[in-house]
Chain A
Amino acid sequence: MKKVLTGNFAAAYGATAAKVNVISAYPITPQTTIVEILSEIVADGELNAEFVKVESEHSALACCIGAQATGARTFTATSSQGLALMHELIHWAARARLPIIMVNVNRAMAPGWSIWADATDSISQRDTGWIQMYCENNQEVFDTVLMSYKISESESVMLPALINLDAFFLSHTSQVVDLYNEARIDQFLSKYDPKIKLDVDDPHAFGALTSPEHYYEFSYKMHEAQINAIRVIKEVGQEFGKIFGRTYDLTESYRCDDAELILVSYGTIAGTAKEAVDQMRNSGIVVGVLKIRYFRPFPTEDVIKALHPAKKVGVIDRAVSYGQSGPFFNEIRSTLYHESTPLYGFIAGLGGRDVSTHDIENMVDIMQNDPAQDLIWIGVKNVD
């Protein structure tokens, strides 16, 4: 079944299709409609789930942690300041190895008070142990929510996942989304049944005091699980393709095979870059796009392979790691440490400023004519 849906509705329908047992979330612009529609779906009896209203995002994630520990499948969604408020529990959910799925609508951090797209909120959660990915369109939002349950609940992974979509560019923009049919979704995603859960008939201690004797090993196992996730994301992406006709991987190469210049990006900017690439190719510029879907685990080998043919590589970040560079640029630079490819780090679209195909052409122009630079502020105004 196909429907015209905003990114937020696609996220809510994804959680519904995954038949989640517990939803707990606190509304925040521009995520609010995810919570709104889910509360309606539950109230109308279309989804047999507990919808738990809470007083803050911190409590929302705490609620999901408790529920998930009992063996329930849970879902939450937030944005920007809300995600930041969850920070303590974001670590907790990962270290407790609870495969909670959270949708974050990428929104700039305040002040200045902003409700517009910027990836700084999610990138700030980089080292929490969560799987972290970025969506380009609403179909990908729906598909990723479904796939994420299967990936995160895999016995060799057992990590929560943060699915990001750009504020307004996806959250409030309508696109056609195929919702497939229920029987095939049930065939793809089986019931969540963890090995150890909170159960009065089989008591366990949870999150107990862990001395230096064992803490280190738990961290080692978290990293191992992230690395396992690389394989699982690929397997699940393939299986999804066989059942639903759309195959997914950690990265997506667009016209990269023969490309002399490759632009790396994520989220909706990757979509705009594809459009710009088509236009530039018509005028003889041999350029491609490498879209990074997964920030954690970082697809190091795939990135090296995909970027190998390029004479020059540019990275477009809708975020800044202050005092360093664009965060994705930093990843690409360390990934390509052993290559001599000149790299260009572009910052664009902060706080929801539009990134047009014209801006992308401007970046390619810089790559063609200027020496490599780590930090290039595209469209920054009034700088002397």
Chain B
Amino acid sequence: MGKKQKNDQPVEFKSIKDMPDTPTSVGSMLVNKTSTWRSIRPVIIDEKCKRCMICWKYCPEPAIHPTDPPSVDYNYCKGCGICYEECPFDAIIIEQEGK
């Protein structure tokens, strides 16, 4: 396991001088929410879920947290549907966004 980040606070720039020279920063992905283009959302059904964690393993973002039951972080889930495809117990359903 990797070490824990010392500082996981999002970075805010007041002046261009505070900015690093390149997108090399601590906690930048806490500011960059990458879910804005999602058109469908996976929803985990607690009663059907067997906690096998296959969805957690397969999520490419990774936007599934290994909680009990696993939970989807909708700030980063891009709605690819891989978790839905891979869940062996049909415990994930897909809902349309914006409905």
**A interface residues with partner B (beta carbon < 8 Å):** 95-97, 158, 196, 200-211, 214, 217-218, 220-221, 225
* With known contacts A217-B19, A221-B16, A221-B19, A208–B25 Cβ distance under 8 A: yes
- B98 lies within 8 A of chain A by Cβ: no
Residues from chain B with a CB closer than 8 A to the CB of A95 are 22
Closest 5 CB pairs of A and B: A97-B21, A97-B22, A210-B23, A208-B23, A208-B28
List chain B residues, Cβ under 8 A from A204. Answer: 24-26
Q: Are A196 and B32 in contact (CB under 8 A)?
A: no
18 additional contacts, CB 8 Å, given A196-B24, A217-B13, A218-B22?
Answer: A96-B24, A196-B20, A200-B2, A200-B3, A201-B3, A203-B2, A204-B26, A205-B29, A206-B23, A207-B22, A207-B24, A208-B28, A209-B23, A214-B19, A214-B23, A218-B21, A218-B23, A221-B16
- Distance between B41 CB and nearest chain A CB, rounded to angstroms: 20
Q: Show 23 A/B contacts (Cβ-Cβ < 8 Å), sorted by A.
A: A96-B22, A96-B24, A97-B21, A97-B24, A196-B24, A200-B3, A201-B3, A204-B24, A204-B25, A204-B26, A205-B23, A205-B28, A207-B22, A207-B23, A208-B29, A208-B32, A209-B29, A214-B13, A217-B16, A217-B19, A218-B23, A221-B16, A225-B21
- Assess whether B19 is in contact with A211, with CB atoms less than 8 Å apart: no
- The smallest beta-carbon distance between A32 and chain B, in angstroms, is 33
* A221 engages B21 (CB within 8 Å): yes
Set of chain A residues within 8 Å of B16, measured between Cβ atoms:
217, 220-221
**Secondary structure at chain B's binding surface: helix, strand, loop or mixed?**
loop
Closest-CB distance, B5 to chain A (whole angstroms)? 5
Residues of A contacting B13 with CB < 8 Å?
Answer: 214, 217
Check B24 against A218 for contact (C-beta < 8 Å): no
CA–CA, A224 and B26, complex, Å: 23
Chain B interface residues toward A at CB < 8 A: 2-3, 5-6, 13, 16, 19-29, 32, 34
**Known contacts A203-B5, A214-B19: does B25 contact A209 (CB below 8 Å)?**
no
Report chain B residues within 8 Å CB of A97: 21-22, 24
In the complex, A158 Cα to B29 Cα: how many Å? Answer: 24
Query: Within 8 Å CB of B21, what residues of A?
Result: 97, 158, 218, 221, 225
Q: Given the complex of chains A and B, what is the CA–CA distance between A201 and B4 in angstroms?
A: 9
Contacts between the two chains (Cβ within 8 Å), count: 60
**Cβ–Cβ < 8 Å partners of B22 in chain A:** 95-97, 206-207, 218
How far is it, in angstroms, between the C-alpha of A206 and the C-alpha of B29 when the chains are bound? 11
Given the complex, which residues of B lie within 8 Å of A201, measured CB to CB?
3
What is the minimal beta-carbon distance from A112 to any residue of chain B, in angstroms? 39
Q: In whole angstroms, how far apart are the Cα atoms of A96 and B29 in the complex?
A: 17
Chain B contacts for A217, CB-based, 8 A: 13, 16, 19
Shortest A285–chain B CB gap in Å is: 48
**A205 contacts B24, CB within 8 Å?**
yes
Q: Which residues of chain A are within 8 angstroms of B3 by Cβ–Cβ distance?
A: 200-201, 203
In the bound complex, residues from chain B placing their C-beta under 8 Å from that of A203 are 2-3, 5-6, 26
Give complex CA distance A170, B64 in Å: 58
Tell me, in angstroms, the Cα distance from A207 to B6 when the chains sit together.
Answer: 19
CA distance A278 to B20 in the complex (A): 50
For the complex, what is the distance from the CA of A208 to the CA of B20, rounded to whole Å?
12
Chain B: minimal CB distance from A192 (Å): 15
A220 to B25, CA, bound (A): 18
- Chain A residues near B20 (CB-CB < 8 A): 196
Least CB distance from A369 to B in Å reads 51
Most buried by B among A201, A210, A214, A225: A214
B contact residues around A218 at 8 Å (CB) = 19, 21-23
Tell me how far the C-beta of A101 lies from the nearest C-beta in chain B, rounded to whole angstroms: 18
Kindly list chain B residues whose C-beta atoms are within 8 Å of the C-beta of A208.
Answer: 23, 25, 28-29, 32
Query: Which chain B residues border A196 with CB–CB below 8 Å?
Result: 20, 24
- For B5, give the chain A residue with the smallest CB separation: A203
User: Is B2 a contact of A206 with CB atoms below 8 Å?
Assistant: no
B19 touches A209 (CB 8 A): no
User: CA–CA, A205 to B28, complex, Å?
Assistant: 7
CA distance A203 to B3 in the complex (A): 8
Q: Which residues of B contact A205 (CB under 8 A)?
A: 23-29
Establish whether residues B32 and A211, one from each chain, have CB atoms under 8 Å apart when the complex forms: yes
- A206: nearest residue on chain B (CB-CB)? B24
Measured CA separation A203–B28 after assembly (Å): 12
